[in-house]
Amino acid sequence: CNLTGWWENDLGSKMQVFKVGNDGSFSGEYHTAVSSAKKPIQPSPLNGSQHLDEDGQCTFGFTVNWKKFSDSTAVFVGQCFNGDDGKEVLHTSWLLREKVDSEPDDWKATR
């Protein structure tokens, strides 16, 4: 699986991975289509690592810092699959951590 390039999810968010290094590290931008932030959405930097293997169905993870418009950070983990139609497909899970004002509010900070 070659993560380099543009990817789009079911909600219309897009991710661009600039280049995957020989060690599997990569960077790029995430263009989210969904946000509860009050500021306008802006492209956000991402940094990650891909496990390079021989069958092409690699695992990977990356962090997105939404610092341009929100006080939150997201982490994504996933795997690339070679679909029946020959196209590469990414399946991911994510956690989003929003800033809260106090420790007692910690319970509602992670989705």
Domain membership of residue 52 as a residue range: 5-99
Q: Considering the chain, what percentage of its residues have pLDDT values greater than 70?
A: 99
Whether residue 23 is contained in a domain is answered as yes
Q: What is the pLDDT of residue 70?
A: 87
Q: How many structural domains are present in the chain?
A: 1
Q: Distance of CA 45 to CAs 23, 25, 30, Å?
A: 20, 14, 6
* Model pTM score: 0.87
pLDDT at 56 (0 to 100): 64
> What pLDDT shows up at residue 84?
85
Question: Looking at residue 47, which CATH number applies to its domain?
Answer: 2.40.128.30
Residues 6+ apart with CB under 8 A from 99: 71, 72, 109
Domain assignment present for residue 84? The answer is: yes
Residue 104 covered by a domain: no
Question: Which of the residues in the chain have pLDDT under 70?
Answer: 56
